[in-house]
Amino acid sequence: MDGEEMKNPVIICRCENVTLDEIEKAIEEGFTDLESLKRKLRIGMGPCQGRTCIPVLVRILSRKLRKSPEELLIPKSRPPIVPLPMKMFLVRREEKVEG
Ligand code: FES
């Protein structure tokens, strides 16, 4: 990396502050699919859930691996954990004595 790149890194994921240089380095280290890149760099795991950065990451990966973007596996979106009402965890006193 030259001095200019260090001063003005190209930010790909604004939520998790991941730079182009970090992505390219990770790909060269063998992280060559979207899921492993997400786990290593946390790219796409910020508040926007990758709406901005994942399409750019797909293009970077596509260019580096010389594959079409369609060939690359798109990570599955995971639904948020649904909160459960506390009453589901309460046991009535009568039930506890009987049981
Ligand atoms: S820009 Fe990457 S998760 Fe929001």
Tell whether 16 is covered by a domain: yes
CA distance readout (Å), 76 to 11, 45, 49, 72, 82: 23, 12, 11, 12, 18
List the CATH number of the domain containing 8: 1.10.10.1100
Q: CB-based burial of residue 49 (10 Å sphere; 0-12 exposed, 13-18 middle, 19+ buried)?
A: middle
34-93 tens-digit pLDDT:
999 999 999 999 999 999 999 999 999 999 999 998 888 665 666 667 777 878 778 776
Cα 87 to middle of ligand 1, angstroms? 36
Structural domain range at position 45: 3-89
User: pLDDT tens for residues 47-63?
Assistant: 999 999 999 999 999 99
Distance 3 CA to ligand 1 centre (A): 26
> What is the model's pTM?
0.69
Q: Residue 38: inside a domain, yes or no? A: yes
Pocket test for ligand 1, best of 53, 57, 58, 59 (most atoms within 8 A of CB): 53
